[in-house]
Structure 1
Amino acid sequence: MRHTVPVVIAICTAALALATAQEESIRLPGQVRFLQSAGDEAIRFISPTHTVQLRSQPPKGVKLPAWANASCRYGVLKLGKPPQEWHLVMDPASTRAVIDANRNSDLTDDEVLRGSADPTWYFGTCYGPFRLAVPLNGVPVSRYFSLIHDETGSSSVYLRCEDYRLFEGEVNGEAVKIALLDANADGAFDTPAKSRWEGDKCVFLPDREQRPLPRYHKLGDRTYRLTFAPDGSACEFEPSEISTGTVLADYPQVHLTAVGKEVGYWEASTTDGRLQLPTDEYSVLAYRFGTRDSRGNQWQVEITPMDPLPLKVSAGENRFSLPKQLTATLGFGTRQGDTLNISLALYAGSRTQQVSSLAKNDNLPPPPTLRIVDRNGKTVKVETFHYG
């Protein structure tokens, strides 16, 4: 889900500093007001950040509420730098939960959280938001979280950070709006991406696409190094010169998402088959390419490797080979009466590169058909798959 925000700024010669102010009337040079937007302009980061490990046995030495019974689940939240622990008890049957917010091993003196339908996720029950004083380099900082109980899928419980920071400014004549989330719930807002799942998250508006926190960001033909304050109070854009290389692809339209050892999270696109990336060693998280068939139909294929693909970009020209054809694989069948359900998966070459999306002329392609033959090769039946 992707959304929006507001706030204001000034440019400081080489670098742009974005900082928060307590009063809306205060606008110091180089600072930006911090606004928690509401309504249609509110940013919504809906991705759960941690899976909470629950157990059926109560922790030793922890005082439990009177309603704790055999149906309750118990767990420990580990948050902050350095990490600290908070005990919790949850009763899914009565949609009650308690977090030991003051960390005194007594769950009877804490606020009881009543579960309700999650407002920003399509499944389960939301407990919260609740506030914890999370350590950030030893200093307690208030952060808001929610517990999400997945009742329709894995029956897991997730922790979701509810805190984000909103910034608005102007860099080299271009408007910049950023929403910043402490996605890994460690109390800091400045953890760069190391993989698809690690690190904090941000949204560059107005595109509203949630992505891992980058170390660099490109605006127009200039590249800026981003520096975020650990407490989320400031953001700085500093013009940066980095060497680049050219990646030659097998198709003209290519979009690449990768994490570099030095540059961090990076996205690049091209319409002429020549991608420009900073020189670095990358792990490719996803790539999308487009091509036309002999009838003029435009096909778009997105591949999400199960294991990130290595890509080394040096000065000059480098090659990134893309698949020439897709492979369809039948999954295991499940029988219901006289009906046999079989899944069909598409891969690009190996099973580790699964097709995550496929489009024909910006729409879903016609469902594939399965021809069933006897031992003599005679067609017995033709079945059509459906999207599910």
Structure 2
Amino acid sequence: MTGGDVVNRMFLFVPIGIGLMVGSVLTIAYMRSPFSALPVEKFYEISDFEWAQVKNNDLQRGIKIIPELIGPESITVDEHDNLYTGLKDGRIIKIMNPGKANQTVIELTKSFDFAEGSKRKKKRPLGLRLHGAKLYFADAYQGVIMIDLETKNYDIIVNYNDVNPPMLFPDDLVLTSDGKTIYFTDMSLKWNYDDVAFSSIEGDCTGRLFKVDVLTKNTDLILDSLCLPNGIEIVENETHVLLSEHVYRRLTLVNLESAKVVRHIPLPAGPDNIRKRKNGGFWVAIPYIPEPGHFMTWSPVFRRILAGVLGSEGALTNFNLTQGVAVKLNKNFEPGRIHLDLEGKLSQAVTEVSELSDGTLVVGSSISNGIASVDPLPPLVDHPLVDVSI
């Protein structure tokens, strides 16, 4: 055998060897993956929506309130424009006179531990709602809880194991106007708050919608097989609720009497919390806008491999959570306007938008620091393709 033959064989075996190594790594990652990813229906991109063809920096205009707050995911507002929010460290706070010289912060959970005695030691308050002097919230580990703002006592309305199977990821809630009934979401039967990235990558559709009688605490399942149902809002006549289904990038209108889905509203990205606007319609928070071809659109095999290679923490870094995005819906649930901070100068990873009495927006985020206080938005520009960034 000549030297040239040896060299040729070496050049032949090197790529084969590399290919075998890569194949082995991918196979191991596939086998190590914690799930078998599911096929997902058509993904909508931002280019599919005429109303979203707008350039603006609406969510950059304003200030940060208390930048040291970590992860104020949901924000509720009382009649005096005081704010209430839950933080990543498990605390719930009230902010009086937010953004003003006499701003005051009160920790509402300082005198008690609502996870005391629970087999789950962690706490993560998410969706919050006020009804009179009572503050209700969904905790990602513990369930649905109420704090009496007058007595400073708390009550567990629904413990995570009061339903079967137990709740794994309570996320958001809403009350009827009489305060007698709460509707709330449990995002997944498979993944908890710590592994939220896996739930998205898999295409998980094991979420549930419940209702609970506040007085008797009787809890009933309304609908299951929902695709990461996080945000929820009740519509005006209280016969329907509007849900976010994050995996499928859509809102879902559910008839509460028939427990049937009556309508889907597609969006260019996965929605989070939904809140009513002061003058009718809804605000929909969107944590990020994925680029075309984002790995969430890949086939189940590749998404399974990705999860096996990166793990939950590593996978989360592949979501661009530096953007600020909110969508305005009219009272007929039709999207009409998108508001942006794509550079993340003020608003990042938006998980909720609520309004103050003067039109100021308070913007929550599950991961960023502080609450963004956004100046009242400019008048709507009729033509959707105009650049209103100035």
- Indicate the structure with greater strand content: 1
| Structure 1 and Structure 2 fold alike (TM over 0.5) | no
- Indicate the structure with greater helix content: 2
Larger Rg: 1
Q: TM-score range by the shorter chain?
A: under 0.3
TM-score of the aligned structures, taking structure 1 as reference length: 0.25
